[in-house]
Amino acid sequence: MKEEKRRKDYPLFKVIKALLKVFYPKMEVVGADKLPDEPVIIVGNHTQLNGPIACELYSPRHRYTWCRGEMMNLKEVPAYAFEDFWSQKSKYTQPFYKVLSYLIAPLSVVIFNNANTVAVYRDSRIISTFRSTLERLNEGADIVIFPEHDVKYNNIIYEFEEKFIDIAKLYYKRSGNELLFVPMYIAPKLKKMYLGEPIRFCHDAPIEEERHRICKHLMREITEIARALPEHTVIPYRNIPKKYYPSNKQEVARDEKTDC
């Protein structure tokens, strides 16, 4: 309750969110009517900052978004922001982005500590990430995760880190329910968010198999949604020069292969 009150009563965040609603294009959510009457984990393409912004403003249901804990800590923001957002920029512009990473730090702390987020860590603090996630699910809220990392899968998405699937194992132990994972494709150029066919966690299967099975389904479903849409520019996970942004119709063979 204290956390919820802090979020609702924080004036600067309310101003920032109001401005975003004015200047950020409104996103239509397609497929929300198919969401089951139970909490789910929605897994989407990051599209740089578009994914978190679109979900914060236009998610059809109450939800919390996984956010890297470094972006919520004033001292940790600059190093993480530069590496994750701008490290692939040209060497001539990198000094500018290094300065920018420090300038955005206070704003990042305000936004991500007051939005509906769950702090995500890769060290021993991951326990707090899982604990908070389970609490939100038990409250009936959805969880949104953008699990891409810097390994390209195809022209639509980068490969998913798979360990987030472990939430379903913990959730089953506590509730006896098998979680649903719902794929989401965000297309900022079309001003739409598409929800695809879900896949349910199987508690009887080895967790390694479930990580692979569920992530492959989610990546393929997102890819199929994207490629079935009218031609548009895909905003990739990495913040690369815009001239290298791919089209959704670009053919890439890798993801068409069948896994054994």
Give the CA diameter of the chain.
Answer: 54
Q: Examine residue 65 and state whether it is found in any structural domain, yes or no.
A: yes
Where do runs of H (alpha helix) occur along 43-164? Answer: 50-58, 77-81, 94-103, 105-114, 126-138
What is the Cα–Cα distance from 113 to 95, expressed in whole angstroms? Answer: 27
Q: Tell me, what's the pLDDT at 172?
A: 98
Q: Examine residue 7 and state whether it is found in any structural domain, yes or no.
A: no
For 101, residues 6+ apart whose C-beta sits below 8 A from its C-beta are 77, 78, 79, 81, 82, 85, 86
Q: Tell me, what's the pLDDT at 252?
A: 53
Looking at the whole model, is its pTM more than 0.85?
yes
209 is in which domain, residue-wise?
Answer: 37-71+119-256
Helix (H, G, I), strand (E, B) or coil at 73: coil
**Which DSSP helix (H) or strand (E) runs through 232?**
none
Q: Examine residue 53 and state whether it is found in any structural domain, yes or no.
A: yes
Q: Tell me, what's the pLDDT at 235?
A: 96
Q: Examine residue 189 and state whether it is found in any structural domain, yes or no.
A: yes
Q: Tell me, what's the pLDDT at 145?
A: 98
Q: Tell me, what's the pLDDT at 88?
A: 74
For 112, residues 6+ apart whose C-beta sits below 8 A from its C-beta are 67, 71, 72
Q: Tell me, what's the pLDDT at 130?
A: 95
Q: Examine residue 22 and state whether it is found in any structural domain, yes or no.
A: no
What is the Cα–Cα distance from 53 to 56, expressed in whole angstroms? Answer: 5
**What's the total number of domains in the chain?**
1
Q: What letter would DSSP give residue 233?
A: B
Q: What letter would DSSP give residue 175?
A: H
Q: Tell me, what's the pLDDT at 125?
A: 86
Q: Are 46 and 146 in contact (CB under 8 A)?
A: yes
Q: Tell me, what's the pLDDT at 10?
A: 66
Q: Examine residue 145 and state whether it is found in any structural domain, yes or no.
A: yes
Q: Examine residue 212 and state whether it is found in any structural domain, yes or no.
A: yes
Distances from the Cα of 3 to the Cα of 6, 103, 189, angstroms:
5, 26, 34
Q: Tell me, what's the pLDDT at 80?
A: 87
What is the Cα–Cα distance from 213 to 209, expressed in whole angstroms? Answer: 6
CA torsion through residues 72, 75, 78, 79, sign: negative
Distances from the Cα of 112 to the Cα of 62, 105, 134, 203, angstroms:
17, 11, 19, 33
Q: Examine residue 112 and state whether it is found in any structural domain, yes or no.
A: no
Per-residue tens of pLDDT for the chain, all 260 residues: 344 443 445 688 889 999 999 999 999 999 999 899 999 999 999 999 899 999 999 999 999 999 999 999 999 999 988 888 877 777 888 889 899 999 999 989 999 999 999 999 988 889 999 999 999 999 999 999 999 999 999 999 999 999 999 999 999 999 999 999 999 999 999 999 999 999 999 999 999 999 999 999 999 999 999 999 999 999 999 888 889 999 999 865 444 444 43
